[in-house]
Amino acid sequence: MGRLKIQETDATRPGRAVGAAPPEDAFAELGHLGAAVERGQIGRTKPVHPYQWLWEPLEDDPTFVLRPMFGGKAAYVMGRLTLYFTAGREPWRGMLVCTERAHHASLLAEFPELSPHSILPKWLYLPETAGHFEATAEHLVALARRHDPRLGIEPPPKKQRRRAG
């Protein structure tokens, strides 16, 4: 169906273009939309992650990759797993800083709101309930943007699948 150009309007019917297609033709396309809705292609909304605003500053970095991981979002910078954003129930509601244990003391001294995660103590955890969550999280993201060497771990190599045969 062609596009409708509105250059002049019919004075007797405001908003209606002169020479426009009759309404039945205009609504014929909606039948196709209805089929798309039934197939689930239209009408589904994708939920916005509550911490999306935190990783958005990293999107300018050409090495930035965001991947789903265990119900959260894993941020990779320069090929290293750097930050993990999770919005589940405690202790999975906040941001995890993926780092080597050798950097814990330095990061804990700079960010007293951090603590070793109760289940993954190799990573530091910033709970959403921390007093200065937003400011601390933004500062940690800024460190990731600057490629601070204390942040990030090398992801384990992918296991090779054995070929069936």
Give the pLDDT confidence of 66-99 residue by residue, as tens digits: 998 998 999 999 999 999 999 888 999 999 999 9
> pLDDT tens for residues 100-112?
999 999 999 999 9
Q: What is the secondary structure of 23-34 as a DSSP string? A: HHHHHHHHHHHH
For the cut 90, the answer to whether the pLDDT of residue 65 exceeds it is yes
Spell out the long-range contacts of 107-115 with Cβ–Cβ below 8 A and sequence spacing 24 or more.
107/150, 111/136, 111/139, 111/140
For the cut 60, the answer to whether the pLDDT of residue 30 exceeds it is no
Residue 137: partners with Cβ closer than 8 Å, 6 or more residues away: 51, 54, 95, 126
Question: Stretch 49-65: mean pLDDT, rounded?
Answer: 88
Q: Which pLDDT band holds residue 29 (cuts at 50, 70, 90)?
A: low
> Which pTM does this prediction carry?
0.68
Classify the phi-psi angles of 78: left when phi > 0, otherwise alpha if psi is within -120 to 50, otherwise beta.
left
More confident residue, 65 or 47: 65
Beta pairing partners, 83: 75, 97
